[in-house]
Amino acid sequence: MSHERILVTGANGQLGTVLTSALRAKHGPSNVVASDIKASSTSSGPFVMLDILNIQRLTEVIDDFRITHIYHLAAILSANGEWNPIKTWNVNLNAWINILELVREKPVKKIFFPSTIGVFGDTTPKSNTPQHTAIDPVTMYGVSKRAGEMINNYYHHKYKVDIRSIRYPGIIGYQSIPSGGTTDYAVEIFHHAIKEKTYTCFLEAGTTLPMIYIHDAIKATLLLMDAPADRISIRTSYNLSGMSFSPSEIAKEIKKFIPEFEINYQPDFRQQIANSWTKSIDDDRARNDWSWLPDYDLAKMTKDMFENLSK
């Protein structure tokens, strides 16, 4: 039986929903407490309503459930973050610092912080982006996540907190429709293809971005969190790569399943965000340190998406 008592914040989100299920399958449903600012429609284990900025409530939850591990997924993503930058800073960074301060005093052993390819900016090399490189993000999402990465490194070295983190590419999954991100098109496109056989994309045809299938994102998270501490050489956040493609390339792949599918392009403000990000990622450190290897490329992911969405 697992000795881990896990808290997942932002558990109703795109990654949270699937990660909570995976953790429950691994550690037992009662050992994984899901939390979110909004009520949950599913209840396969304990759930608490939690505004991540409410420190008193957070303290109660950690104490009441004797939490030993935290996966802090609550965040405001790149596109939504631009509508309210100060709120984004508070939710993405100040709430994280509150958690780190609490963790120093509590018997919490390990914590997980999701970072993003959104930390990369105009000065970052666009192809095969190295782990250590120029990082000048242009969105408040990227700024707050980059600050979080540096805070991770600080708390690890100063207070020995066992913090682990991944820079996720855009995540694609069939379990939910994401909102507020720049890579959301790559999920929306499947739903529109099935329902309407057409999709109007908010990015230009040739905008290549790093992406990852949800199963690989979960696999990487569990691998990282299970790795022995002496294998973790990056305490800011690990680069992670799944695949890279553009809207026109995914549309071509979708046409193999729905030949009449048509894509149109109407770029909006998210195009500028996407242009500041990189196209492909060098994740050698994740491969060397905790044996990371993705299972899905564009073709395999597209097939799996259609199989699952058609259920």
**Residues with a known catalytic role:** 141
User: Is 173 among the residues that bind ligand AKB (CB under 6 A)?
Assistant: no
Q: Is 10 in the site for ligand AKB (CB under 6 A)?
A: no
Span interacting with ligand AKB, options 39-47, 175-183, 234-242, 252-260, rule CB under 6 A: 175-183
The first and second tokens of residue 12, run together, are: 């109703």
Strand segments, DSSP code E, in the chain are 6-9, 32-36, 47-49, 69-72, 110-116, 163-168, 170-172, 198-201, 209-213, 238-239, 243-245, 262-265
> 10, 13, 45, 181: which one contacts ligand AKB (CB under 6 A)?
181
Task: State which of positions 59-88 bind ligand AKB (CB under 6 A).
Answer: 77-78
Judged by CB under 6 A, which stretch of 116-124, 152-160, 241-249, 255-263 contacts ligand AKB?
116-124
Which own/partner pairs from 42-51 qualify as long-range (CB within 8 Å, at least 24 positions apart)? Answer: 45/20, 47/11, 50/9
3-class DSSP string for 171-237 = EECCCCCCCCCCCCHHHHHHHHHHHHCEEEECCCCCCCEEEEEHHHHHHHHHHHHHCCHHHCCCCCC
CB of 212 to ligand AKB, least distance (A): 10
The set of residues, in sequence order, having a beta carbon less than 8 Å from that of 207 and lying 6+ positions away, is: 246, 247, 271, 274, 275
32 touches 3 (CB < 8 A): no
Of 45 and 181, which CB lies nearer to ligand AKB in the complex structure?
181
Q: Min. distance of Cβ 277 from ligand AKB in angstroms?
A: 7
Minimum distance, C-beta of residue 62 to ligand AKB, in the bound complex (Å):
26
The count of chain residues that interact with ligand AKB, using the rule CB under 6 A, is 11
Q: Of the ranges 38-46, 53-61, 112-120, 239-247, which one interacts with ligand AKB (CB under 6 A)?
A: 112-120
Q: Which of residues 196-255 bind ligand AKB (CB under 6 A)?
A: none
Contacting positions for ligand AKB (CB under 6 A)? 77-78, 116-118, 141, 168, 170, 181-183
